[in-house]
Amino acid sequence: DVSTPQWRPTYHFTPPQNWTNDPNGLIFLNGKYNLYFQNNPFENKWGHMSWGHATSTDLVHWDNLPVAIPEIVTKDTTTYIYSGSAVLDKNNTSGLGKDGKGPLVAIFTADKPKQHNESQYIAYSNDGGLSYTQYAGNPVIDLDKKDFRDPNVFWYEPTKQWIMTVAMVDEHMVRIYGSKNLKQWTRLSDFGPAGYTKSGWECPSMVPLVVNGDKSKVKWVLFVSAFTDRGPGMQYFVGDFDGTNFKSDNSATETLPVDGGDAFYAAIPWRLANHKATLMGWLVPGKPDTYPWRGQMSIPRDLSLRATSEGLRLIQQPAITIKDKLNTLSADGVFAMESTDLRDKEVPLPKAGKTNAYWIDAEFAMADVKVAGFKIAQNKDLPGNDIIIGYDAIKQQLFIDCTNAEKNNKQPANHIQAVHMRPMKLLNGLVKIQLLVDRNSVEVFGNDGEKVITTEIYPDAKSTGVSVFGNYVNVSLKLWRMDK
Ligand code: FRU
């Protein structure tokens, strides 16, 4: 295996070594973001599924901690620790706490490959989430099913109980359970099938979010992951939760994608105070091997809802915790370009850095313009390999175009489709683009988080050029190098 430092992200989470997929057990405790993650502690490929663990105060720098929940191996059976969630049981409803203090409780799927069984387990921690003990009464829910997984649990104050959403994978349904003690669960309702149902549903989660910043207006969003014919995908439903049922407002004919690309998957939220939530997803790796790690997380995304002419829509913005610190996170502060006229020009950004790790906030004034945006991963010795990211004012689409990279690169990502688009309108002739490039990923946020597209890229170490282009455009931008 050849080491691939050119693809190691600088401001996205990767385990120091070995495989990761889904984020698990996201919980904010005592000023620290806890990230557990699907992890193979022994190899750089999926297997031996366990919960890896890392914590961070700023969502950029991570302290890597020992495996928190290892696979369970006995003489005649192996139990994988699949995806799930973690809660602080403050009032010790479970009775699993110690010395008058409530435990942390992890709720996850125990997958038994030999028995073709997936059931829900709990495990508890009385050392702040470093290590967990399996509950002696496991499983807490067993329907004798092969595909039944990814419980996500939260406290629901109005009925004073724990609520779980869990995937009935092949039925394309989310089953909702309630519990007073995290041990006995009562089935409350089923949601679905609805929206995208061509493949198995995984990793459901449900959060209340504020609408248009008005704290008195709260609606619920239900997230579901499913692999589509374009690759990994997520959809969301906006609606109401009354403690028993989730009722969706989505139109019966429309599926709402969370992300327009082909990498963002299995995302779950950190639930924060005052109906705030930050979503983190797994970025599904492309074809080339990265080593000595494989798999990474997305940028954490602060969530909210905005009223649009089409209805309430999800807004995702790169976590403010990171955004606020860019000047100090950057290698050389901020580089600003004010109102540059781009009349049919391609303007290189020499400050973009030596490596493909940077963050750009840009605003384009698109008078008479067809297309404007950025060309990245440029290399003057290998012209025509670049990846184009921008806004097409004729098609009214935000896009990432990897056609050249897929055709010419020595290391194409092997996307099912090379072009990713999301419909988006100009706002008074302006378009805002936030472009987060981090070695082997691209995340583009349009119009303050109205649309997001994420994909994986595999440029060689020398293809790091960036330019901004457009015809009859004014652009103002800020750029932060992120390869300090
Ligand atoms: C999603 C998923 C989950 C499962 C986990 C296993 O990527 O398939 O449904 O719990 O990965 O690693």
Query: Tens of pLDDT along 386-412?
Result: 999 999 999 999 999 999 999 988 889
Q: Is the pLDDT of residue 353 over 70?
A: no
Q: Is 149 in the pocket of ligand 1 (CB under 6 A)?
A: yes
Q: What is d(CA 242, CA 263) in angstroms, rounded to the nearest whole number?
A: 33
432-439 mean pLDDT = 97
Q: Is the pLDDT of residue 472 over 80?
A: no
Q: How far is the CA of 148 from the centre of ligand 1 (A)?
A: 11
Selection from 383, 397, 390 nearest residue 471 by Cα: 390
- Determine contact, residues 84/151, Cβ cutoff 8 Å: yes
Structure tokens given for 233: 């995908």
Q: What percent of the chain has pLDDT over 70?
A: 100
Structural domain boundaries of the chain?
5-319, 325-481
Q: What residue has token string 């098609």? A: 395
- Determine contact, residues 234/224, Cβ cutoff 8 Å: yes
For residue range 166-181, what is the model confidence (pLDDT) as tens digits?
A: 999 999 999 999 999 9
Q: Which atom of ligand 1 is nearest to the CA of 108?
A: 10
For residue range 364-390, what is the model confidence (pLDDT) as tens digits?
A: 998 777 899 999 999 988 888 899 999
Q: What is d(CA 263, CA 153) in angstroms, rounded to the nearest whole number?
A: 25
12-40 mean pLDDT = 98
Q: What percent of the chain has pLDDT over 90?
A: 90
Does the complex come out with an ipTM higher than 0.90?
A: yes
Q: Is 152 in the pocket of ligand 1 (CB under 6 A)?
A: no
For residue range 218-259, what is the model confidence (pLDDT) as tens digits?
A: 999 999 999 999 999 999 999 999 999 999 999 989 999 999
Q: What is 325-481's CATH superfamily?
A: Exo-inulinase; domain 1 (2.60.120.560)
Non-local (6+) Cβ contacts of 70 within 8 A are 41, 50, 81
37-43 mean pLDDT = 98
Q: How far is the CA of 322 from the centre of ligand 1 (A)?
A: 28
Q: What is d(CA 133, CA 319) in angstroms, rounded to the nearest whole number?
A: 32
For residue range 83-132, what is the model confidence (pLDDT) as tens digits?
A: 999 999 999 999 999 998 999 999 999 999 999 999 999 999 999 999 99
For residue range 50-61, what is the model confidence (pLDDT) as tens digits?
A: 999 999 999 999
Structure tokens given for 333: 């502060």
- Determine contact, residues 245/230, Cβ cutoff 8 Å: no
Q: Is 324 a catalytic residue?
A: no
Number of Cβ within 10 Å of residue 406's Cβ equals 18
- Determine contact, residues 480/357, Cβ cutoff 8 Å: no
Q: What residue has token string 């010790």? A: 92
DSSP string, 269-287: EEEETTTEEEEEEEE---S
CATH topology for 5-319 is Tachylectin-2; Chain A (2.115.10)
Q: Is 48 in the pocket of ligand 1 (CB under 6 A)?
A: no
Q: Is the pLDDT of residue 431 over 90?
A: yes
Q: For residue 240, which amino acid is it?
A: D
Q: How far is the CA of 55 from the centre of ligand 1 (A)?
A: 21
Q: For residue 466, which amino acid is it?
A: V
Q: Is 203 in the pocket of ligand 1 (CB under 6 A)?
A: yes
pLDDT of residue 133: 98
Selection from 60, 51, 40, 57 nearest residue 110 by Cα: 51
Q: Is 278 in the pocket of ligand 1 (CB under 6 A)?
A: no
pLDDT of residue 413: 92
Q: Which atom of ligand 1 is nearest to the CA of 22?
A: 7
